[in-house]
């Protein structure tokens, strides 16, 4: 297994962890009556996200943001791996991505500004550089 | 090297990353920095061209999630054919046009190229079967 694939598997696990981190407090705050319902806005009086406490809502946004990052990262890893273009550089990019996405969660939760944005950028540019590296 | 499905997928990934970069740049230029760097506890909707860019990005990500499986399956099973390459090229061309069509609000064209891209995706699933 290439280092990029290992980082991808860990990033997938991070997504699972982020989901649990978000869904446990969300269920405690909203109650199963709401989360198990079909979540019709007119009956709940708005979206579920708007009814979360500010910190749990941050975990929710961090989870959604990682979906976006993960699909681009998956693409980069798969292309690098299938075209046998794994190098020390692409491996380093993959680890930077994973480290950035790990740091992103507490940075969002604790509202660390501007660190959350800078950490996001590190992950984004690591992915973009992997994509560019597999083109050249 | 752009005559195979994986390279076309790679280019589409770069296009999506560029669009994401474009959205962030647009936000940096128009939304106040304090809000951007904050935890965004109150939600704000993006308006005008920036809102269209945001919606085009979300649509591009959905399209990426749908097109990646058949392309990867075709590549892993060595099922590449002239038809599958053509479908991937049509998809990429349609999605390249989709972005300005959405950002500049060109009615009709946006829906047309979205449909072309979607049909090319469906075609790839059938070719992968």
Q: What is the dihedral of CA A30, A31, A34, A37, to 10 degrees?
A: 150
Assembly ipTM: 0.84
- Nearest residue, CB atoms, A108 vs list B10, B21, B39: B39
Shortest distance between the Cα of A134 and any Cα of chain B, in A, equals 8
Closest CA in chain B for residue A107: B39
Which residue among B6, B17, B39 places its CB closest to the CB of A131?
B17
| Residuewise pLDDT in 10s, chain A (136 residues) | 899 999 999 999 999 999 999 999 999 999 999 999 988 888 888 888 899 999 999 999 999 999 999 999 999 999 999 989 999 999 999 999 999 999 999 999 999 999 999 999 999 999 999 999 998 8
> Tens of pLDDT along B44-95?
889 999 999 999 999 999 999 999 999 999 999 999 999 999 999 999 999 9
**Contact between B14 and A57 using a beta-carbon 8 Å cutoff:** no
B40 pLDDT more than 50 = yes
* HEC sequence for A28-68: HHHCHHHHCCCCCHHHHCCCCHHHCCHHHHHHHHHHHHHHH
Residue B2 has a pLDDT of 57
pTM more than 0.95? no
**Quick one: DSSP state of residue A87?**
-
pLDDT per residue as tens digits for the range B15-34: 999 999 999 999 999 998 99
For an interface test with A, give the residue of B10, B24, B25, B63 to mutate (most A CBs within 10 A). B10
* Sign of the CA dihedral with A41 first, then A45, A46, and A51 last: negative
pLDDT of residue B1: 47
pLDDT of residue A44: 87
Are the beta carbons of A2 and A91 closer than 8 angstroms? yes
**Which chain A residue has the Cα nearest residue B6?**
A79
**C-alpha dist (Å) from residue A134 to A85, A131, B44:** 6, 5, 37
In sign, the C-alpha dihedral spanning A33, A39, A44, A48 is positive
């Amino acid at each position: 297994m290439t280092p990029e694939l290992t980082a991808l598997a860990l990033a997938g696990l991070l997504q699972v962890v982020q989901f649990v981190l978000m869904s446990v407090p969300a269920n405690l705050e909203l109650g199963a009556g709401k989360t198990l319902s079909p979540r019709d806005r007119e009956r709940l009086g708005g979206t579920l996200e708007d009814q979360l406490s500010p910190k749990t809502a941050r975990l929710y946004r961090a989870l959604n943001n990682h979906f976006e990052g993960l699909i681009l990262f998956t693409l980069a890893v798969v292309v690098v791996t299938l075209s046998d273009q794994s190098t020390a550089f692409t491996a380093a990019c993959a680890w930077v991505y994973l480290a950035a996405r790990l740091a992103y969660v507490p940075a969002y939760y604790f509202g660390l500004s501007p660190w959350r944005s800078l950490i996001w950028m590190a992950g984004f540019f690591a992915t973009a550089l992997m994509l560019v590296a597999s083109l050249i | 090297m752009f005559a195979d499905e994986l390279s076309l997928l790679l280019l589409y990934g770069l296009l999506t990353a560029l669009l994401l970069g474009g959205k962030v740049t647009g936000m940096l230029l128009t939304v106040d920095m304090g809000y951007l760097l904050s935890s965004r506890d109150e939600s704000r909707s993006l308006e005008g061209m920036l809102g269209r860019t945001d919606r085009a990005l979300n649509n591009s990500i959905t399209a990426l999630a749908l097109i990646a499986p058949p392309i990867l399956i075709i590549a892993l099973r060595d099922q590449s054919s002239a038809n599958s390459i053509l479908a991937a090229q049509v998809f990429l061309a349609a999605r390249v046009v989709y972005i300005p069509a959405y950002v500049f609000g060109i009615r009709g064209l946006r829906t047309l190229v979205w449909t072309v891209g979607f049909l090319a995706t469906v075609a790839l699933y059938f070719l992968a079967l």
